[in-house]
């Protein structure tokens, strides 16, 4: 699905462009460009366009292309981000309920949910000769509606459900109780799992579309998250660890196709090895310096992934991100039987690999801009003859940090324009995919579910964690047994900056205490910033504010999340 021409065609058909200042519900209800579904979505070809349109609302830069993905990656304790995209995760004075990187993902995921509802309603009546293909498209619609609500609920919690395609503003519903929202999400993923094809169904240009494994993974993830989040922040003591473990076990047993850990950890984060055997749910992007419009619904919309907020500080851009010291130290402490540094550090971070605390295996090294080593690129001779090294060549503030994230950037791009626009300085040139669910994550979530009380399937928790550690390029010594402390640590080493850490802390009930601990211990925690860090406010910052335009202009939104107005 890397060929964006199909996606852009779908967007032109769907025709739902958004204006950020307008109420998303009214925008959907009165959109004059919406074609009559009975006359258009009657063939497999046009149904396919409608389904691709849902993906595209999620993959636009205003959603998972940058705004939503940076929101997810930066809300945790791993990083600091100077960009406007990163503000929702900086807990700073700039954040308010009108901030566009909150407003736009909120709108776009509801738009995606609305389009998914429409497809769920029309696909059964469309003219299909191939019932397996009909079921595949219908399964995608259920999956994408479920994921839209999963994203919205995890971040905004107090949300209304989009259960059917709105014909008018009277079709919208009040905010839903958390129990009802979880039930709705889970039912959508269940239906998707039954309808979607296995791993090998999608090929060629369709590679990367969701499968039954994608649905099983998100079903298990929903059960796991529900168990922890509602225990700590809701009114339910019911847990679903059995259901979570069973869903993950289906993938481990190969019920949905053969998934495995790829030999080279870094292959999960490179353009040449996207959609590999470890990928279970991956957002698709292309480098596109021509179609640069942020907003979907237009024929010149891009589906590129803006690196701003992902990229390390450099002379190319000070508006970047850094990784906090505790993450760096966690990687340094992870060594193999020969005392060699965990290879995942080299696939995750940009840092000085010549530092005395680093002991790389043969072949492990840090290459950043123009393929240069860190100590070659981040060095500057000053006018007085002294030499500045590290991120301090960019700014003194950046010099307070030892590392940044390597994931999320197409490092094959040059730093100077070769004449075709495909260079680091062109934000629209970055087309690296976002692997949201990998098989490694499934193994770790499975181990957590079983350790938390779920029924063991094919593997023990220890076997699942050791499989992650035994990856060919990592090859760390196995554990004799595991507990939650080990699983939590392994998730840092395996999944840093992939958008999971904040929600890990949330479901473990640790987010407020963790932020208080780091704020007190690290003077640079959340300080790579453009406005004052206010600290994590318990009872408020667990959830983002519902956009103020929705609260004030939509009669179905009767209250914001606690602490927001």
The tens digit of pLDDT for each residue in 418-446 reads: 999 999 988 889 999 999 999 999 999 99
Q: What are phi and psi of 8, to 5 degrees?
A: -65, -35
Tell me: pLDDT of 13 over 60. Answer: no
Least reliable range by pLDDT among 96-105, 127-136, 166-175: 166-175
Is the Cα torsion angle 472, 330, 84, 438 positive or negative in sign?
A: positive
Query: Is residue 44 a part of any domain in this protein?
Result: no
Query: Is residue 452 a part of any domain in this protein?
Result: no
Please report which helix (H) or strand (E) contains residue 81, including its range.
strand 79-81
Q: What digits encode the pLDDT tens for the residues 517-535? A: 999 999 999 999 988 999 9
Closest CA to 295 of 145, 159, 100: 100
Tell me: pLDDT of 46 over 90. Answer: yes
Instruction: Check residue 150 and give its pLDDT.
Output: 98
Query: Is residue 76 a part of any domain in this protein?
Result: no
CA distance 437 to 498: 9
Instruction: Check residue 301 and give its pLDDT.
Output: 77
HSE, CB side, 13 Å, CA atoms: give it for residue 176.
Answer: 20
Q: Does residue 33 contact residue 15 with C-beta atoms inside 8 Å?
A: yes
Q: Does residue 549 contact residue 103 with C-beta atoms inside 8 Å?
A: yes
Query: Is residue 92 a part of any domain in this protein?
Result: no
CA distance 468 to 461: 11
Instruction: Check residue 326 and give its pLDDT.
Output: 98
CA distance 150 to 105: 13
Closest CA to 62 of 287, 338, 302: 302
Neighbours of 43 (CB within 10 A): 12
Query: Residues near 397 by Cβ (< 8 Å), separated by ≥ 6?
Result: 527, 528
Q: Does residue 262 contact residue 256 with C-beta atoms inside 8 Å?
A: no
Least reliable range by pLDDT among 162-176, 286-300, 362-376: 286-300
Query: Is residue 90 a part of any domain in this protein?
Result: no
pLDDT band at 26 (very low <50, low <70, confident <90, very high): very low
CA distance 312 to 297: 32
pLDDT band at 35 (very low <50, low <70, confident <90, very high): low
Query: Is residue 371 a part of any domain in this protein?
Result: yes
Tell me: pLDDT of 501 over 50. Answer: yes
Q: Partners of 317 in the beta sheet?
A: 314
Biggest CA-to-CA distance, the chain: 76
Closest CA to 252 of 493, 78, 440: 440
pLDDT band at 217 (very low <50, low <70, confident <90, very high): very high
Query: Is residue 340 a part of any domain in this protein?
Result: yes
Residue with tokens 């590290």: 390
pLDDT band at 461 (very low <50, low <70, confident <90, very high): very high
CA distance 333 to 490: 12
Residue 393 domain boundaries? 321-411
Q: What are phi and psi of 404, to 5 degrees?
A: -140, 180
Span 211-235, mean pLDDT?
Answer: 97
CA distance 159 to 109: 12
Instruction: Check residue 290 and give its pLDDT.
Output: 86
pLDDT band at 245 (very low <50, low <70, confident <90, very high): very high
Closest CA to 212 of 224, 203, 200: 200
Q: How many domains does the chain have?
A: 1
Query: Is residue 113 a part of any domain in this protein?
Result: no
Q: What digits encode the pLDDT tens for the residues 295-342? A: 776 667 778 888 888 899 998 888 899 999 999 999 999 999 999 999
Q: What digits encode the pLDDT tens for the residues 349-382? A: 999 999 999 999 999 999 999 999 999 999 999 9
Neighbours of 158 (CB within 10 A): 20
Q: Does residue 283 contact residue 436 with C-beta atoms inside 8 Å?
A: yes
């Amino acid at each position: 699905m890397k060929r964006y021409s199909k996606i852009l065609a779908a967007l032109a058909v769907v025709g739902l462009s958004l204006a950020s200042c307008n109420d998303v519900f009214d925008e959907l209800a009165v959109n004059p460009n919406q074609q009559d579904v009975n006359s258009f979505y009657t063939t497999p070809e046009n149904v396919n366009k409608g389904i691709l349109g849902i993906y595209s609302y999620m993959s636009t830069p205003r959603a998972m292309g940058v705004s939503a993905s940076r929101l997810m990656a930066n809300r945790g304790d791993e990083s600091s981000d100077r960009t406007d995209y990163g503000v929702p995760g900086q807990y700073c004075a700039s954040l308010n309920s009108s901030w566009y990187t909150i407003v736009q993902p909120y709108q776009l995921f509801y738009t995606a949910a609305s389009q998914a509802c429409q497809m769920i309603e029309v696909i059964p009546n469309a003219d299909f000769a191939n019932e397996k293909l009909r079921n595949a498209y219908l399964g995608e619609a259920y999956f994408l509606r479920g994921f839209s609500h999963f994203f919205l609920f995890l971040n905004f919690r107090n949300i209304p459900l989009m259960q059917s395609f709105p014909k008018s503003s009277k079709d919208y519903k009040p905010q839903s109780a958390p129990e009802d929202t979880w039930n709705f999400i889970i039912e959508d993923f269940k239906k998707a799992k039954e309808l979607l094809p296995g791993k090998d169904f999608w090929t060629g240009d369709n590679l990367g579309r969701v499968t039954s494994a994608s649905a099983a993974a998100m079903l298990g993830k929903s059960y796991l998250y529900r168990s922890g989040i509602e225990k700590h922040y809701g009114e339910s003591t019911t847990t679903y660890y059995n259901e979570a473990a069973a869903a993950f076990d289906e993938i481990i047993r190969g019920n949905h196709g053969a998934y495995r850990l790829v030999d080279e950890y870094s292959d999960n984060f490179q353009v040449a090895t996207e959609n590999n055997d470890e990928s279970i749910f991956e957002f698709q992007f292309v480098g596109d310096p021509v179609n640069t419009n942020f907003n979907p619904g237009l024929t010149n919309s891009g589906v590129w992934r803006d690196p701003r907020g992902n990229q390390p500080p450099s002379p190319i851009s000070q508006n970047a991100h850094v990784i906090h010291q505790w993450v760096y130290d966690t990687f340094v402490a992870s060594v193999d039987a020969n005392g060699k540094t965990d290879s995942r550090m080299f696939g995750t971070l940009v840092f000085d690999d010549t530092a005395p605390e680093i002991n790389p295996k043969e072949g492990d090294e840090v290459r950043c801009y123009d393929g240069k080593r860190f100590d070659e690129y981040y060095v500057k001779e000053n006018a007085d003859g002294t030499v500045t090294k590290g991120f301090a060549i960019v700014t003194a503030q950046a010099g307070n940090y030892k590392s940044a994230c390597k994931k999320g950037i197409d490092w094959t791009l040059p730093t100077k324009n070769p004449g075709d626009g495909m260079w680091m300085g062109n934000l629209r040139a970055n087309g690296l995919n976002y692997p949201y669910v990998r098989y490694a994550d499934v193994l770790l979530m499975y181990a957590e579910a079983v350790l938390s009380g779920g029924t063991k399937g094919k593997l023990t928790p220890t076997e699942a964690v050791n499989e992650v550690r035994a990856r060919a390029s990592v090859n760390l010594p196995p554990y004799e047994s595991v507990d939650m402390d080990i699983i939590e640590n392994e998730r840092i080493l395996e999944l840093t900056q992939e958008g999971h850490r904040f929600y890990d802390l949330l479901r473990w009930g640790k987010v407020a205490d963790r932020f208080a601990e780091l704020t007190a211990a690290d003077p640079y925690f959340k300080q790579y910033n453009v406005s004052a860090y206010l600290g994590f406010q318990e009872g408020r910052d667990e959830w983002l504010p519902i956009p103020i335009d929705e609260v004030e202009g939509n009669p179905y939104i009767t209250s914001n999340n606690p602490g927001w107005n």
